[in-house]
Amino acid sequence: MHDYLALLRRAPRLLAFGFLLTFFSAFGQTFFIAVFGAEVRAEFALSHGGFGAIYSVATLASAALLPWFGRVVDRHDLRHVTSAVVAGLAVACVLHATAANVLMLGLAILMLRLCGQGLMSHTALTAVARGFDADRGKAIGVVLMGFAASEVVFPQLAVLGLAVGWRSSWLVAGMALLLLVLPGLRWLQATPRRVGEVAASSATGASGWTRGEVVRDRRFHLLLPGVLAPAIIATGIFFHQSHIVAEKHWTMALFAVSFALFSASAVAASLLVGGLVDRHGAARLAPLGALLLATGTAVMAVGGHEVVLVVAMVVLGAANGVHATTMAALWAELYGTAAYGAIRALVASAMVFGSAVSPFALGWLFDRGAAVSLVLGGCAAYALVAGSLMRVALPPGMPRRSVRPVP
């Protein structure tokens, strides 16, 4: 804890900048948008399937666009990128509030997903990964806490917003981003930069691989199954939670409690592994996330007692925290920082695709009578294989610093 306090004293503005970006990315996250789902469906006379289709198409479109927009952070001043992303999210909120037809609704959701879920978090993690070297793991752990904090605060704000109407709530959100969040972020960046100096520049002098070189790297393809595993498995579990809970004879109230423990476990694991990443390197720790994911999913698959759900969710939360922290640090460790934004945007896009396909794939299996235990057991096996491939790509003793490929 002393190391984290020292880090906060040394670079408070850069860490606060990253935390606020991840925190306010909630306006584009599913858990916030979904609270207003019933009101939006009633307004536009949409069925569950109709609204779900619009949401899935918008999410997939944002995933397709993210690699192109995400690389902008490598080429332009971070202050200008931040202003454009926050302003884009504000416009998306206002467009959502004033949508007059289904086409405008779809465009608004596309912008919410791209600017909120995609670019807000992408900008935060790119800035922090570039701005720190020796303390990169701990810095990422601090910034990732913004996601957990938003999962606690924003659902409560959304419930309050329902009392005044969904359109008014989204309009207030847009105004708050423009009048409060954007000026606050600009103020945090308006300071002489020491630790975060490279993060606020166009990174012209940064070293590392290009995105094209990374795509052709064998290690990258070995890592992808493990990178996608949490997005595929956790999204599938959360999306089909009611079916899983019913077949396991649990209760939704118990699942809600276990989800809170999931978030707490993710924060604790992220902070713990952040310090370990700084000492031992992200490459040595990255497969641990897949191993924990396999363990938590397997526990949920074979167990039926209520305690099993709690234990499984705590382990899955730890897997999420370990994965998010190690992956954010790993790309800088393996490939340098020159094209970090483009590389991470490519990975984030793949993860969004995985999270979009997972509900359909698991739902297809459940519709055809596959037992929950069998499906979750298959997910656990996939995570275990993915973790093994990560260890092949990241053998013990490999160099911690980026080495450019031989032409």
pTM: 0.79
Judge contact between 370 and 379, C-beta under 8 A.
no
Partners of 336 in the beta sheet?
208
Q: What is the pLDDT of residue 202?
A: 39
Contacts of 196 (CB under 8 A, 6+ apart): 11, 13, 14, 127, 130, 131, 132
| The two domains 11-203 and 207-393 share their CATH topology (first three levels equal) | yes
Contacts of 47 (CB under 8 A, 6+ apart): 41
Average pLDDT over residues 229-235: 90
- pLDDT tens, 78-90? 889 999 999 999 9
Q: Is the dihedral of CA 125, 203, 209, 350 positive or negative?
A: positive
Which is more confidently placed, 6 or 112? 112
Calculated CA dihedral for residues 158, 159, 165, 171, nearest 10 degrees: -20
Q: Where are the domains of the chain?
A: 11-203, 207-393
Residue 304's pLDDT band, with cuts at 50, 70 and 90, is confident
Class for domain 207-393, per CATH? mainly alpha
- pLDDT tens, 323-343? 999 998 999 888 888 888 889
Residue 1's pLDDT band, with cuts at 50, 70 and 90, is low
For residue 194, pLDDT over 50 is answered with no
Q: What is the pLDDT of residue 207?
A: 58
Class for domain 11-203, per CATH? mainly alpha
